[in-house]
A and B are shown apart, each in its own frame.
Chain A
C-alpha cells in the first residue's frame, strides 16, 4: 500500500522534474514587458479619440522611443503570445486533408529576437526573414510533424484556415518546439506577422489593450534596469492618451504565472508527502525491527558464539529486510502498473511509458532501501553489541 502510494508521488515528481529540464524553446533572460495603458475618463489629461494623431501613431512613437533607449536590443509587439501569457488563441489549420489545431501567435518579426526563438539549427535570422515575406507564416517543429508526418519538410507548403476563410498562407520557416511553460507538453504554434506599419492606422482603443510590448536588453545594461527605465522613460512614454503603467521582467511574470497555476506549490506538496512517508516508513521499520531483534537476541548470541562477525549479523538483518521489501514491492509494482495503464497518473504532461514506470518503481525501491538500511541499522547495532555469553546465559 505504502509502496504504491510512494510510487504514485515519486512518479509525479519524476514527470515534473523531467519536464522542467526539457528546453522550452524560448529564453526569458534579460527580457522585460512594458505595460502601456490608456487614460480613463477621470483624468484631466484625457483627450477624446478624434484627435490630430491616431492612437497607432502615438503608439509607434512610444515603440521608437523605447527602441532608442540605452541597452535595448529588440522590441517586439504581440498578442497573447509571450511566454507565460494569460490568454491564448487557437485555430484550425489545414494542409490537404490534415487538420491541425495551432496556437496563434500574432507577432512582429522581432519577437524571435526578443525571446531567442530559433530554427532547429539554432538560428533566429531565417525565421525573421521568412516571416517578413508576404502572406507567410512560421510554424513550430511539432506542428510540421503533425501536418507532414515524419521526415518531411513543411517549408513551401500552403496552409488554409477552412473554418475562417480560404486565403492560403505559405510556410516560410520552422522553429523549434515551443512549450507554454516548463511544466507543459509542447503546444504546436503558428506565428503570424503583425506589421508595425499596420498599427499606424489603428484608432480603436480596444486593439491596444491586448497588445504586448516586450523588450530584450543587452546583458551589460541589465543592472537595475527597471528603476532606471522608469526614471528615464515615464515622462517620455506619456504620449497622447498612453502612459507606462509598469515594466516587469518576464522572470517576475513567470513567478506570477506559477503562483496562479500552483505548479511549484503542487510540487512542494508532493515533496512534503514523500518526506512524510519516508519518515514514517523509517519510524515503522525501526519500531518493528527493534522489536524483532530484541525477540531474537538468543539467536544472535548463538550466531556470535558460533563465529559470525558483527558485520555478518548486520548484513543478515538488512538482507532480511530487503527480502521482505522485495516481496512487498512486487504486488505494489503490479498495482502501480495498472494504475498507470488506466491513466490515473499525470498523463497530460507525459505519456505513460514502460520506461517512465520503470524509473518510478526503481526510484521508489531505492528510497525504501535507503529507509530500511537506516531503520535497521540502529536496532541491529544494539542487538550486536551484547556479549554472546550473556545472551546464552539468558537462554
Chain B
C-alpha cells in the first residue's frame, strides 16, 4: 500500500512541478539551516582524533585569584604550575592529568636553513600524550623520564616536517625554535584548530622553560597553563570535582594575600564551550535557551508557510478524499496517507538540505565555525571525515524532518480527514 502511496506522491509531484520544487526548496532551506547548527554542535563536542576522550575529559580553561580581604578584587588568567602540582597532579580519582602552556608563537627553522616560519608551540607534560591520542607517523612522544629531566625534544606535525626538511624522515634531526635548539622525536598528523586543546604545530616539554612566562602578581596562583583531567568514565566527574575542591581548600588555607577561585570549573566539553573569556561565567542556560529558540523558529516559520501550500494542495484533492471516504477509508488511514505523502516531500527536501548543510559548512567554515582567537593561530580549520559524518547527525536530520513534516502537514491533514463526505465530494 505504501508503495502505491509513494507512486501516487511522485506523480502528484510531477503534476505541479513548480509548486513541488518550491516546497522542496523551502524544506531544504529549513533543514539545511537546522543541520548546520547540529553539525557545528557535533564538531565542537564529539570525540575525534586527537581529542578522542572529550566525553570523559574535564577542562580548566581559566583561573581567578581573589584578594582575601577584598573579595571583589579579582585577577583572571590561567593556572600556574604551582597550583597544578599541588591541586591537580595529585588527583587520585582521575585516570590522567595533563597541563599545557598553549600556543606560544616561535620562529621555527633549522640550523643553517633558510625556511623560517612562525609556528604555534605548546609546552606540555608527558601525560598530554595519554589524554589526547595523536596518530604518530614517525617516532614517539617524549616519555616521563625525558620530561622530568627537561630534555629538549620536540614532536612536530607532518606539514612542519615537510616544510623544514621536505620529507617526514626527520627523527633525531634538529629543529630551532626562536633560536633554541631541540631534537625532533616524533611526527604526527596535522591537527585542525577545531581540536582546540590538542592543536599546535610543535609540542615540547614545559620543563625546558627557564624563566616564568610572566611576572608573578598573583601570589603564585596564576600563569598561562591549562589543565585537562581525564576520568575513567563520565560518572567519575563528581568524585573528581569534590577531590579537587578539597585540594583547592588546602591550597587556599596556606595562601597569604590571594586565594584561587576556579569559578565552577572543571568543565565538561559542552560547558567549557559556553565559557568564552576569562572574566565570564559559563552560560549553559543562556546557550541552551538561545539555541532552542533558534531551532524552534527555524522549524515553525517554514512549517507555517509550508502548511499554507499543503492546505492548497489538499483543497485541490478534496474530491479524491471524498471518494476515498465514500468507499470506506477511515480518518486514521487518510491522515496517515496525507502525512506519508508529505513526508516523501520532506525527506526529499531533507536530503537536499543535509547535502547543502555540509557544503555550506565546508565552504563557510571561517564564518560558521569561527573561534574568536583562531585568527591568531597559524594552523588551519581543516576537517576529517570522522568529525563531520557522525551517525548521530543523520539521526538528528531524520528527527527534524519528521518534526517539520508533522508541523507543516499535521493541521491540513487533520482538517482534510475530518471533512464531511458530502462536502468533500462536492469539492467545497
Chain A residues within CB distance 8 Å of chain B? 37, 39-46, 230-231, 234, 238, 243-246, 255-262, 264-265, 268-269, 272, 276-277, 279-281, 283-284, 286-288, 290-291, 294, 378
Contacts and interface: CB of A to CB of B under 8 A. Distances in A.
Contacts of A255: 375
Interface string B172-213: 000000111100000000000000000000000000111100
Given A40-B211, A234-B109, A283-B23, 6 more contacts: A231-B114, A256-B375, A276-B301, A283-B305, A287-B309, A291-B315
- Interface majority SS on B: helix, strand, loop or mixed? helix
B328 interface: no
Given A43-B179, A45-B179, A290-B312, A265 B306 contact: no
B333 interface: no
Residue in B118, B208, B374 whose Cβ sees the most chain A Cβ within 10 Å? B118
Nearest 8 pairs between A and B by C-beta?
A: A287-B308, A256-B375, A259-B375, A41-B210, A283-B305, A284-B305, A287-B309, A42-B180
B77 to A, nearest CB: 16
30 contacts: A37-B107, A37-B178, A43-B180, A44-B180, A234-B114, A244-B107, A245-B107, A246-B105, A256-B375, A257-B375, A259-B374, A260-B376, A262-B370, A265-B370, A269-B367, A276-B33, A276-B301, A279-B25, A283-B22, A283-B302, A283-B305, A283-B308, A284-B304, A286-B22, A286-B309, A287-B307, A287-B311, A287-B312, A291-B308, A378-B18
A291 B312 contact: yes
B178 A40 contact: yes
Contacts of A46: 179
Nearest to A255: B375
Given A243-B107, A265-B370, A290-B312, A279 B26 contact: yes
B178 A41 contact: no
Contacts of A231: 114
A231 B113 CA distance: 10
B211 A41 contact: yes
Interface in B376-397: 376
Contacts of A284: 304-305, 308
A262 B311 CA distance: 42
B225 to A, nearest CB: 17
Contacts, number: 113
Contacts of B304: 284
A288 B308 contact: yes
B305 A245 contact: no
Contacts of A283: 22-23, 26, 302, 305-306, 308-309
A24 B31 CA distance: 40
Contacts of A291: 308, 311-312, 315
Contacts of A259: 366, 370, 372, 374-375
A40 B180 contact: yes
Contacts of B105: 245-246
Contacts of A39: 178-180
B19 to A, nearest CB: 7
Residue in A42, A43, A44, A276 whose Cβ sees the most chain B Cβ within 10 Å? A42
B373 interface: yes
Contacts of A294: 312, 315-316
Interface of B: 18-19, 22-23, 25-26, 29, 33, 105-107, 109, 114, 116, 118, 152, 178-181, 208-211, 298, 301-302, 304-309, 311-312, 315-316, 364, 366-367, 370, 372-376
Residue in B180, B306, B316 whose Cβ sees the most chain A Cβ within 10 Å? B180
Contacts of A234: 109, 114, 116
B41 to A, nearest CB: 16
Contacts of B180: 39-40, 42-44
A245 B302 contact: no
A290 B19 contact: yes
A40 B107 CA distance: 12
Given A40-B211, A42-B208, A265-B367, A256 B107 contact: no
A291 to B, nearest CB: 4
B210 to A, nearest CB: 4
Contacts of B118: 245-246
B367 A268 contact: yes
B315 A276 contact: no
A283 B25 CA distance: 10
B29 A276 contact: yes
Nearest to B105: A245
Nearest to B204: A42
Nearest to A241: B179
Contacts of B209: 40, 42
B425 to A, nearest CB: 15
Contacts of A256: 375-376
B208 A280 contact: no
A53 B25 CA distance: 71
A279 B33 CA distance: 13
Contacts of B366: 259
B352 to A, nearest CB: 14
A172 B376 CA distance: 38
B323 to A, nearest CB: 19
A243 B179 contact: yes
A43 B312 CA distance: 77
Contacts of A43: 178-180
Contacts of B211: 40-41
Contacts of B29: 276, 279
Residue in A231, A259, A287 whose Cβ sees the most chain B Cβ within 10 Å? A287
Contact of A290 (B106, B302, B309, B374): B309
A280 B26 contact: yes
A251 to B, nearest CB: 13
Nearest to A378: B18
Nearest to A38: B178
Nearest to B32: A276
A242 B420 CA distance: 89
A378 B105 CA distance: 59
Contacts of B374: 259
Contacts of A280: 26, 301-302, 305
